[in-house]
Amino acid sequence: MPATVAEPDAVIANIETVPLHIPLKVGSTPGASLWGDTLSAADSLLVKVTTRDGTEGWGEAFGFRAVDSAKLAVDELIAPLCIGRDATRIGPLMLEIQRKLHVFGRGGALMYGLSAVDIALWDIAGKRADAPVSQLLGGGVTSMPCYASLACYADPALVRIAVRRAIDAGFHVLKLHEADVSAIRAAREEAGPGVELIVDAGCSWTVSQVGRLAHELQAVRLKFLEEPLWPPENFDGLAELRKSTGISISSGENASTLMEFERMLAAEAVDFVQPSPAKMGGISELCKVFPLAAVRNVPVMTHSFYDGPGLLAALHATAALGNADSMIEWRLFDLEAFIYGDALTPKAGRISVPQGPGLGIDPDPAVISAYRRTPTAPDSPSRHDAQRVFEDVHQGL
88: DSSP letter: T
Tell me, yes or no, whether 110 and 184 share the same domain. Answer: no
For residue 382, is pLDDT > 60? no
Query: Is residue 296 in a domain?
Result: yes
Strands 249-251 and 272-273: parallel
74: DSSP letter: I
> Tens digits of per-residue pLDDT, 238-253?
999 999 999 999 999 9
> Tens digits of per-residue pLDDT, 258-301?
999 999 999 999 999 999 999 999 999 999 999 999 999 999 99
Contact between 173 and 356 (Cβ < 8 Å): no
* pLDDT (0 to 100) of residue 138: 96
Query: Is residue 1 in a domain?
Result: no
For residue 308, is pLDDT > 80? yes
For residue 2, is pLDDT > 50? no
Tell me, yes or no, whether 244 and 202 share the same domain. Answer: yes
Tell me, yes or no, whether 241 and 186 share the same domain. Answer: yes
Q: What percent of the chain has pLDDT over 70?
A: 93
Contact between 316 and 137 (Cβ < 8 Å): yes
Tell me, yes or no, whether 116 and 155 share the same domain. Answer: no
pLDDT band at 374 (very low <50, low <70, confident <90, very high): confident
Across 327-339, average pLDDT: 97
Across 156-179, average pLDDT: 98
For residue 3, is pLDDT > 80? no
Inter-CA distances, 397 with 43, 130, 364, 371, Å? 26, 34, 17, 17
CATH code of the domain in which 191 resides: 3.20.20.120
Show the domain range for 42.
8-133+364-394
Query: Is residue 358 in a domain?
Result: no
206: DSSP letter: -
For residue 45, is pLDDT > 80? yes
For residue 184, is pLDDT > 70? yes
Neighbours of 216 (CB within 10 A): 12
Q: Number of helices and strands (H, E) in the chain?
A: 15, 13
Across 198-212, average pLDDT: 97
Query: Is residue 189 in a domain?
Result: yes
pLDDT band at 166 (very low <50, low <70, confident <90, very high): very high
Contact between 130 and 110 (Cβ < 8 Å): no
Tell me, yes or no, whether 338 and 202 share the same domain. Answer: yes
Tell me, yes or no, whether 305 and 382 share the same domain. Answer: no
Query: Is residue 3 in a domain?
Result: no
Tell me, yes or no, whether 225 and 291 share the same domain. Answer: yes
Residue 177 main-chain phi, psi, to 5 deg? -110, 75
For residue 1, is pLDDT > 80? no
CA distance 211 to 110: 36
85: DSSP letter: S
Contact between 255 and 233 (Cβ < 8 Å): yes
CA distance 142 to 192: 30
pLDDT band at 378 (very low <50, low <70, confident <90, very high): very low
The torsion angle over the Cα atoms of residues 361, 367, 373 and 376, rounded to 10 degrees, is 160
Q: What percent of the chain has pLDDT over 90?
A: 89
Query: Is residue 13 in a domain?
Result: yes
* pLDDT (0 to 100) of residue 377: 42
pLDDT band at 4 (very low <50, low <70, confident <90, very high): low
Q: Which residue from 237, 181, 235, 227 is spatially nearest to 204, judged by alpha carbons?
A: 227
* pLDDT (0 to 100) of residue 380: 40
Q: In a 3-state reduction of DSSP, which class is residue 198?
A: strand
CATH code of the domain in which 78 resides: 3.30.390.10
Query: Is residue 288 in a domain?
Result: yes
For residue 175, is pLDDT > 90? yes
> Tens digits of per-residue pLDDT, 54-68?
999 999 999 999 999
Peptide bond into 231 cis (omega under 30): yes
Overall domain count for the chain: 2
Average pLDDT along the chain: 93
Task: Work out whether the CA dihedral 155, 159, 162, 164 comes out positive or negative.
Answer: negative
* pLDDT (0 to 100) of residue 7: 77
Q: In a 3-state reduction of DSSP, which class is residue 332?
A: coil
> Tens digits of per-residue pLDDT, 123-150?
999 999 999 999 999 999 999 999 999 9
For 239-271, letters b (16+ CB in 10 Å) and e give bbbbeebebbbbbbbbbbebebbeebbebbbbb
pLDDT band at 36 (very low <50, low <70, confident <90, very high): confident
Strand ranges in 68-218 using DSSP code E only, listed in sequence order: 143-149, 173-176, 196-200
CA distance 132 to 145: 19
Tell me, yes or no, whether 82 and 154 share the same domain. Answer: no
CA distance 6 to 46: 26
* pLDDT (0 to 100) of residue 24: 96
Query: Is residue 164 in a domain?
Result: yes
